[in-house]
Chain A
Amino acid sequence: MAELIPTIIAKYNYWIYITLMMIGLYAMIAKNNLVKKIVGMNIFQTAIILYYVSIGVKKGATIPISTGGHGAVHEAVHAADYLNPLPHVLMLTAIVVGVATLGVALALCLRIYSRYNTLEEDEILAQIRKK
C-alpha cells in the first residue's frame, strides 16, 4: 500500500484521462437530453486522443521537425532528440473523424426534433409508445 501511492501520484495524468473518459461515458449513458449525450461522446473521444498523444512524449525531446533546412550540411538525425510523431499523425485522423461523427449526430438530432418536437429521451420514448 505504501509503495502504491507514489506510483499513483507519478502517473497522475493517466488518472485524469481515465476520469475524463468516465465523465463522457456517464453522460452518454445517464443524460436525458440528446445534445448532452453528443457532448459526452465528444468528451470520451478527446480523452482517448489525449491518452494516445501523451504516449509520444519524451523527456528532453523537441517537436518532430528536422532542424536541417535548405543548404544545411546533412547530418544524422537522432531519434531520441525528437518526440514520437506516429501517435500525432494517427490522432489527427481521429479528430477529423470525430467532427464528421458530430455532424451526423446533430443532423439526426434535427430530424428527431422536427418529428417529435422535443430532444428529451423519455418524452420521445413516451410518444413512440403512445403510437
Chain B
Amino acid sequence: MFWQIDLAILTLVVVTAVASLMVKDLLGAAILFGAYSFLMCLLWSIMGAVDVAFTEASVGAGVSSVFFVAAVFRTSRRTKD
C-alpha cells in the first residue's frame, strides 16, 4: 500500500462526495455518486480487500447508479440545493 496513491484517491473521494452534494442537478448527482463508488472500489483494491472491491464495483457503482438514474427519471431533476 503506497501512501501517495492512497492519499491522492482519498482526496478525489472527498472531492466527488462534496461535488455530488453541491451540484444543482439530480442526474449529475447520481453520476458523481457513481464516480465516488468507483473511486471507493479502487481504494479497497489498494488495501487488498479484493472481494469487497469487486462487490462495490458491481453493486455500488453499477446497481446504485442505475437505481438513482431510474428514480430521477421517474421524479423531477430540479433541486433547490
Contact = CB atoms under 8 A, between A and B. Distances in A.
B4 to A, nearest CB: 12
Contact of A99 (B1, B60, B81): B60
Contacts of A40: 21
A124 interface: no
Nearest to A58: B48
B40 A23 contact: no
Secondary structure of the A side of the interface? helix
Secondary structure of the B side of the interface? helix
B14 A118 contact: no
Contact of B49 (A20, A23, A56): A56
Nearest to A110: B74
A12 B26 CA distance: 32
Q: How large is the interface on A (under 10, 10 to 19, 20 to 34, 35 or more residues)?
A: 35 or more
Interface residues of B, number: 43
A106 interface: yes
A31 B50 CA distance: 34
Given A20-B14, A99-B63, A39 B20 contact: yes
Given A35-B79, A50-B43, A91-B52, A102 B67 contact: yes
Interface in B18-57: 18, 20-21, 26, 29-30, 33, 36-37, 40, 43-44, 47-52, 55-56
Interface of A: 12-13, 16, 19-20, 23-24, 27, 31-33, 35-36, 39-40, 42-43, 46, 49-50, 53-54, 56-57, 61-64, 83, 87-89, 91-92, 95-96, 98-99, 102-103, 106, 109-110, 113, 118-120
